Amino acid sequence: MTATTPPLTAARIEQIKARLEKATPGKWTGKENDWNEVHIRAPSRKHKTEIAAVSVGYNEPMEGEQRANINLICNAPADIAALLADIERLRDRIDNANQAASETHRNWQSRCYAIMAALGEDYGDALEDSSHGG
């Protein structure tokens, strides 16, 4: 059975943004020590701070999956910010397309072109050539 993820509501996006803004800013880095721990650090608002120490196992060398987990953690703030910005950009495009679809147009082609333009698509001269037909 596949679990479905519910759509992100505006309220949930605002909660995510608030958590991101409260978190330690800047680039997070991981530094491995001799005790199979990785210390995740970032420059805080006051000074360099340790965000977390992640233990990867007792007397075992760090493996690829563990390094991938550290990489995911270190890149999470920047990745989340990029995803939130893209969600906002795409939702703006959808709003623009819905507005274009609700407006009165001469024919179905001009309505389609208005929607595509609202979505940020550029069809250049094809729009002008086709807008004369019907």
The amino acid at 32: E
Q: Do residues 112 and 66 lie in contact, with contact meaning Cβ atoms separated by under 8 Å?
A: no
What are the tokens at 105?
């147009």
What are the tokens at 13?
């996006």
> Which strands sit side by side in the sheet containing 37-43, from one edge to the other?
29-32, 37-43, 48-55
Nearest to 31 by CA among 60, 65, 71: 71
pTM: 0.72
Res 14: pLDDT: 96
Domain ranges of the chain: 11-90, 103-134
Nearest to 55 by CA among 66, 47, 64, 68: 66
Res 2: pLDDT: 58
Question: Which pLDDT tens digit goes with each residue over 15-29?
Answer: 999 999 999 888 899
Question: Which pLDDT tens digit goes with each residue over 69-95?
Answer: 889 999 999 999 999 999 999 999 888
Question: Which pLDDT tens digit goes with each residue over 10-68?
Answer: 999 999 999 999 998 888 998 888 777 888 888 877 776 788 888 776 556 667 788 88
Q: How far apart are CA 66 and CA 50, in angstroms?
A: 19
